[in-house]
Amino acid sequence: MERTLVILKPSAIARSLVGEVISRFERKGLQLAGIKMMQLSDEILNEHYAHLLDKPFFPRIKASMQASPVIVCCWEGMDAVQIVRDMTGVTNGRKAVVGTIRGDFSVSMQENIVHTSDSPENAVIELNRFFSPYELFAYENPIKCFRYANDEIG
């Protein structure tokens, strides 16, 4: 099973959307493998957004991500990265399709509710950045047979 990172940003916290966002992933059939609330440090943000450090808008991103604690989640399932990306919608909430998380809850490029991993490779890197191994859990869910056909899960 593939794993992916989702960060519920300060905009989700402030707008009381945590339960709604988590519920959408659960209803889709993804399995929660880790979750915690944390305040993001300069160090972790500089690492996470290293590709944006020299951009003029980086200080705005950093301030936004430190406006309150965030909730980091690890979601697991077949093709979890792509499923989460599809459910989330494009980065700019004004352009995100209605029915996606950003399309339903965001009208901003920056205050867009969630961060999600953009590839399986980056998901591994990001999950290692935000979680220690003992904070992620593998467990059998008794309803797994109602999520996937036998030949899908091997």
For the segment 32-57, what is each residue's pLDDT rounded down to a tens digit? 999 999 999 999 999 999 999 999 99
Active-site residue, 51 included: no
> What pLDDT is attached to residue 142?
87
Please classify residue 132 by burial: count the beta carbons closer than 10 Å to its beta carbon, then call 0-12 exposed, 13-18 middle and 19+ buried: exposed
Region at 76 (left for phi over 0; alpha for psi -120 to 50; beta for the rest) = beta
Q: Is the confidence at residue 154, as pLDDT, over 80?
A: no
Residues 75-108 have pLDDT tens digits of: 999 999 999 999 999 999 999 999 999 999 999 9
Q: How would you classify the pairing of strands 70-77 and 114-116?
A: unpaired
CA distances from 138 to 33, 57, 69, 122 (A): 6, 38, 26, 20
> What pLDDT is attached to residue 17?
98
Residue of 25, 115, 117, 130 marked active site = 115
Domains of the chain: 2-153 (3.30.70.141)
Q: Rounded to two decimals, what is the model's pTM?
A: 0.94
CA dist., res. 111 & res. 61, Å (int): 9
Residue 88 and residue 102 in contact, taking contact as beta carbons nearer than 8 Å: yes
